[in-house]
Amino acid sequence: MKRMIATGIAAAILMAAGATQAELVRKQSAHPVGETIDRLEAVVKEKGLTVFARIDHAAGAKKAGMELRPTELIIFGSPRVGTPLMQAKQTMGLDLPLRVLAWQDEGGQVWLAYEAPTDMGMARGLAKDNPVIRKVTGALDNFTNAAVKK
């Protein structure tokens, strides 16, 4: 009986996690990780957004005496865009500011990825066709396309 309850609880947790997990949008980059993030940062700043942080996970791993292929995260956003989302659903603050990750895979290919804004919004109870979510989706697509292109 205890085993059945535990299995049921585990299944419910897994279903809930799957229901709220945002799709990962992945793009292949023509540049090394650092350059890809440099390019993304330049586009973001050019558009008037704020870069809050840039985290070099490989450097952190090295400081801890471990190895990690190049992996960098950039965190950016705009209160003009984020605030209306949080006014609609304050828990959107868990997903904002936006984060984009660049990494080099085991084959040497560099990738750029972010969670789909539509999925993040829907997980927080916002409509799929929310105009601010649509705007963020288009902007992220444009920014990341500029970062990865040749």
CATH number where 122 lies: 3.30.310.70
Q: Which residues contact 148 (CB under 8 A, 6 or more apart)?
A: 27, 28, 29, 30, 31, 36, 39, 112
Peptide bond into 97 cis (omega under 30): yes
List average pLDDT for each run of 10 residues in the chain, which is 150 residues long: 48 45 91 98 97 98 98 97 95 97 98 96 93 95 97
Range of the domain at 60: 23-148
* Residue matched to tokens 């292109």: 149
Cβ–Cβ < 8 Å for 35, 148: no
Cβ–Cβ < 8 Å for 68, 58: yes
pLDDT of residue 14: 40
**Rounded to two decimals, what is the model's pTM?**
0.84
pLDDT of residue 22: 72
Query: What does the alpha-carbon distance between residue 54 and residue 98 come to, in Å, rounded to a whole number?
Result: 12
Residue 13 lies in a domain: no
Residue 1 lies in a domain: no
Residue 83 lies in a domain: yes
Residue 115 lies in a domain: yes
